[in-house]
Amino acid sequence: MEIRNGRKEDLEIIKEISSISLKSVLPMKHFEKYLDNTIVAVEKNRIVGFLTSKKECVMNFAIHTDFRKKGIGEKLIQELMKKYRTIRLRTRENNKNAIDFLNKLGFKEKRRIEQYYSNSDNAIEMEWKL
């Protein structure tokens, strides 16, 4: 498995993985805007996950359903851990999988943001510190 910077030709599959994995469907413009801040996980020439960030803040992050629980999400987060002493991320309060995953990686819950998402779901802000 290789981790590399995202490229223009990856955008379609990044958007597809995002749409399948995350409740908010984001427009292609969003992924184009953050392409320079996107890393992808590649398995046998296939994009299996991506992470988009703005400095130490994770914006979007997902692994293809067929490739979860294989350590790929952890590897993507570790790339940011090499660059920053603090990492922040917001996830839905009801996304237990993500919260369990983040807790395992040493993230701590910082605060709860009421009705953060467009469907009124609350967000939990999680933070990791070196």
Task: Using the minimum distance from each CB to ligand COA, give the nearer residue, 30 or 68.
Answer: 68
C-beta neighbour count of 62 within 10 angstroms: 21
CA–CA dist 47, 42 (Å, integer): 5
Residue with tokens 């369990």: 100
CA–CA dist 18, 47 (Å, integer): 12
State yes or no: residue 90 binds ligand COA (CB under 6 A): no
State yes or no: residue 16 binds ligand COA (CB under 6 A): no
State yes or no: residue 66 binds ligand COA (CB under 6 A): no
Size of site (CB under 6 A) for ligand COA: 21
State yes or no: residue 22 binds ligand COA (CB under 6 A): yes
The maximal CA–CA distance of the chain, rounded, in angstroms, is: 41
Is the separation of the CB atoms in 58 and 88 below 8 Å?
Answer: yes
State yes or no: residue 6 binds ligand COA (CB under 6 A): no
State yes or no: residue 112 binds ligand COA (CB under 6 A): no
DSSP-derived 3-state class of residue 83: helix
First to last CA, the chain: 25
The residue from 39, 47, 72, 87 that contacts ligand COA (CB under 6 A) is 72
Q: Which of 110, 113, 115, 114 is nearest to 56 (CA)?
A: 110
The residue from 91, 123, 124, 128 that contacts ligand COA (CB under 6 A) is 91
Which among 32-40, 78-86, 88-96, 111-119 is the span making contact with ligand COA, rule CB under 6 A?
88-96
Task: List interacting residues with ligand COA (CB under 6 A).
Answer: 21-22, 61-63, 68-74, 89, 91, 95, 97-98, 100-102, 104
